């Protein structure tokens, strides 16, 4: 995964997670026009994704393999940074000209299904053009919404605590599966007191971590219809954030903003940072220390609320070539050679065949694989919370308002009221 970028990219990476898992910078290869056919029976499909140049290089290699196996199917490509991708996609979808197949995330499934944009791939499964067998840890159900198959996972990731291992050692802190939030709070204070560094970069703007915290308490960030928590819940969460900054257990938000796009962890402002496990590679690239993955703290010593998130491939309801699109998706999620090319660029491969085909040799990716295996063995994984239409807007609002709160531009009460006001509008749309 390519590192570096701008402030906007770093901010999005910190908080948005599976649905934002691989935002990046990159050149744009523009493809125009709908899927087409030719006199010799060859058809052309359009494939769009968000990501950086290195992702494009990998994907183009996988497309070359696909076109070799399916010489009658040609693939036009289009890739852009995350925000630019969705701006263009919205324009294309509104104009009735979305790409035939595209990278997607769970926060967008209900939104675009409601807009009649997404193809239900169930019929292609029945026709034998796409298999949903062989997926790891229940990921085959990840793209199902209201009985429709709207997305097929290409990789998995889960929330983790990335730690500066030497800092944790110096502080005498050991993070083990089943540790509690009280243990975590004590560890943050110990890191501050024994190393002179904040314990954490400040996790209260990380929506997907808050979702886990809510799930530990029998709630969730989203329900199928809206938000699954109250203003009082969020007030408690953000009040603790404010106190943590004042006491020095969380990094100074102003300093964190100043060093962006570098992370507070790799910039040695904090001893740890909550993020998606497959982002670990960025810290090794940015920082000088040794980094590791630690478990999510719990409320009761057992339930973490975790699930495997995933990027996925979705298809346009307007495609003229549903069979060929399904064959393309099948190839991309099942072919072992694709896994060898893509590695963990989009998370740990979603199917067992691809997982087995790519065996990482570097310490960082080996640690990512081991972490996800540990989650399966610990039995902590649960189904992901459904996301309603408008979830993507709520997510962006949470990130932005949390940052305004951190920088002192809003009080906790103002921030909470603003978030619920914006979310109410988004979820009503």
Q: What is the pLDDT of residues 64-77, one digit of tens each?
A: 999 999 999 999 99
Is residue 172 domain-resident? Answer: yes
282 and 407 both lie in a single domain: yes
419 and 354 both lie in a single domain: no
110: nearest Cα among 62, 70, 143, 66: 143
Q: What is the pLDDT of residue 319?
A: 97
Q: What is the pLDDT of residue 360?
A: 92
Q: What is the pLDDT of residue 36?
A: 64
202 and 345 both lie in a single domain: no
Is residue 368 domain-resident? Answer: no
Q: How confident is the model at residue 32 (pLDDT cuts 50, 70, 90)?
A: very low
125: nearest Cα among 301, 317, 320, 322: 322
62 and 143 both lie in a single domain: yes
Asked whether the CA dihedral 159, 161, 162, 165 is positive or negative, the reply is: negative
d(CA 113, CA 95): 16
209 and 285 both lie in a single domain: yes
Is residue 81 domain-resident? Answer: yes
Is residue 181 domain-resident? Answer: yes
HSE, CB side, 13 Å, CA atoms: give it for residue 14: 28
HSE, CB side, 13 Å, CA atoms: give it for residue 205: 27
239 and 118 both lie in a single domain: no
276: nearest Cα among 10, 83, 21: 21
406: nearest Cα among 254, 279, 273: 254
Q: What is the pLDDT of residues 289-320, one digit of tens each?
A: 999 999 999 999 999 999 988 899 999 999 99
Is residue 370 domain-resident? Answer: no
* Beta pairing, strands 101-105 & 148-149: unpaired
Q: How confident is the model at residue 285 (pLDDT cuts 50, 70, 90)?
A: confident
pTM of the model: 0.81
Residue 149 belongs to what domain range?
7-155+312-358
Q: What is the pLDDT of residue 91?
A: 95
Q: Which two tokens stand for residue 115?
A: 């807009």
pLDDT over 50 at 4, yes or no: no
Calculate the alpha carbon distances from 333 to 130, 152, 169, 313 in Å.
10, 8, 40, 9
Q: What is the pLDDT of residue 19?
A: 40
273 and 259 both lie in a single domain: yes
d(CA 31, CA 1): 24
pLDDT over 50 at 5, yes or no: no
Q: How confident is the model at residue 52 (pLDDT cuts 50, 70, 90)?
A: confident
Is residue 179 domain-resident? Answer: yes
Q: Name the domain boundary from 358, 374, 395.
A: 358
336 and 289 both lie in a single domain: no
CA 32 from chain center: how many Å? 28
- Higher-scoring residue by pLDDT: 316, 225: 316
The count of structural domains within the chain is 2
- Residue 409: give its domain's CATH number: 3.40.190.10
116 and 34 both lie in a single domain: yes
SS3 letters for the chain? CCCCCCHHHHHHHHHHHHHHCCCCCCCCCCCCCCCEECCCCCEEEEEEEECCHHHHHHHHHHHHHHHHHCCCEEEEEEEECHHHHHHHHHHHHHCCCCCCEEEEEHHHHHHHHHCCCECCCHHHHHCCCCCCCCECCCHHHCCEECCEECCEECEEECEEEEEEHHHHHHHCCCCCCCCEHHHHHHHHHHHHHHHCCECECCCCCCHHHHHHHHHHCCCCCECCCCECCCHHHHHHHHHHHHHHHHHCCECCHHHHHHHCCCCCCCCCCECEEEEEHHHHHHHHHHCCCCEEEECCCECCCCCCCCCCECEEEEEECCCCCHHHHHHHHHHHHHCHHHHHHHCCECEEECEHHHHHHCCCCCHHHHHHHHHHHHHHHHCCCCCCCCCCCCHHHHHHHHHHHHHHHHCCCCCHHHHHHHHHHHHHHHHHC
Is residue 233 domain-resident? Answer: yes
Q: What is the pLDDT of residue 107?
A: 86
79 and 99 both lie in a single domain: yes
212 and 298 both lie in a single domain: yes
Q: What is the pLDDT of residues 229-248, one digit of tens each?
A: 999 999 999 999 999 999 99
Average pLDDT over residues 24-43: 53
Q: Is 208 exposed, middle or buried (0-12, 13-18, 19+ CB in 10 A)?
A: buried
pLDDT over 70 at 146, yes or no: yes
Q: What is the pLDDT of residues 396-416, one digit of tens each?
A: 999 999 999 999 999 999 999
104 and 191 both lie in a single domain: no
Neighbours of 196 (CB within 10 A): 9
What region, left, alpha or beta, does residue 347 occupy, with left being phi > 0 and alpha being psi -120 to 50 degrees?
Answer: left
Q: Which two tokens stand for residue 31?
A: 């493809």
208: nearest Cα among 159, 251, 162, 241: 159
> Who's near 334: CB < 8 A, 6+ residues apart?
131, 134, 351, 353, 354
């Amino acid at each position: 995964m390519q590192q570096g970028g701008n402030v906007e990219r770093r901010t999005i990476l910190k908080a948005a997670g599976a649905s934002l898992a691989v935002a990046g910078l990159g050149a744009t290869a523009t493809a125009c026009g709908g899927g087409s056919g030719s006199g010799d029976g060859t058809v052309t499909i359009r494939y769009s994704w968000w990501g950086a140049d290195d992702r494009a290089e990998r994907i183009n290699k996988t497309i070359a393999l696909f076109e070799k196996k399916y010489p009658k199917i040609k693939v036009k490509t289009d890739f852009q940074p995350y925000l630019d991708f969705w701006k263009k996609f919205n324009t294309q979808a509104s104009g009735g000209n979305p790409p035939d197949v595209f990278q997607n995330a769970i926060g967008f499934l209900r939104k675009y299904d409601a807009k009649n944009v997404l193809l239900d791939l169930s019929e292609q499964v029945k026709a034998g053009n796409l298999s949903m067998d062989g997926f790891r840890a229940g990921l085959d159900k990840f793209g199902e919404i209201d009985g429709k198959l709207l997305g097929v996972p290409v990789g998995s990731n889960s929330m983790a605590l990335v730690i500066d291992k030497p800092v944790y050692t110096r502080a005498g802190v050991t993070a083990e599966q089943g540790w509690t939030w009280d243990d975590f709070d004590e560890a943050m204070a110990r890191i501050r007191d024994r190393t002179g560094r904040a314990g954490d970069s400040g996790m209260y703007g990380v929506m997907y971590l808050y979702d886990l915290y809510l799930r530990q308490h029998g709630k969730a960030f989203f329900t199928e219809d809206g938000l699954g928590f109250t203003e009082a819940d969020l007030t408690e969460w953000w009040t603790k954030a404010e106190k943590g900054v004042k006491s020095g257990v969380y990094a100074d938000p102003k300093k964190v903003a100043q060093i962006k796009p570098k992370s507070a962890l790799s910039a040695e402002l904090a001893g740890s940072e909550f993020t998606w496990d497959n982002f670990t590679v960025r810290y090794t690239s940015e920082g000088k220390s040794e980094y590791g993955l630690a478990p999510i703290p719990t409320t009761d010593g057992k339930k973490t609320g975790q699930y495997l998130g995933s990027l996925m491939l979705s298809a346009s309801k307007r495609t003229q070539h549903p069979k060929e699109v399904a064959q393309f998706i099948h190839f991309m999620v099942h072919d072992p050679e694709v896994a060898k090319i893509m590695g963990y660029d989009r998370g740990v491969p979603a199917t067992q065949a691809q997982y087995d085909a790519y065996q990482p040799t570097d310490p960082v990716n080996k640690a990512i694989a081991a972490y996800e295996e540990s989650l399966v063995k610990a039995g902590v994984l649960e189904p992901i919370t459904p996301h309603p239409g408008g979830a993507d807007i709520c997510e962006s609002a949470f990130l932005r308002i949390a940052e305004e709160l951190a920088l002192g531009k809003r009080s906790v009460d103002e921030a909470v009221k603003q978030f619920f006001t914006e979310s109410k509008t988004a979820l009503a749309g």
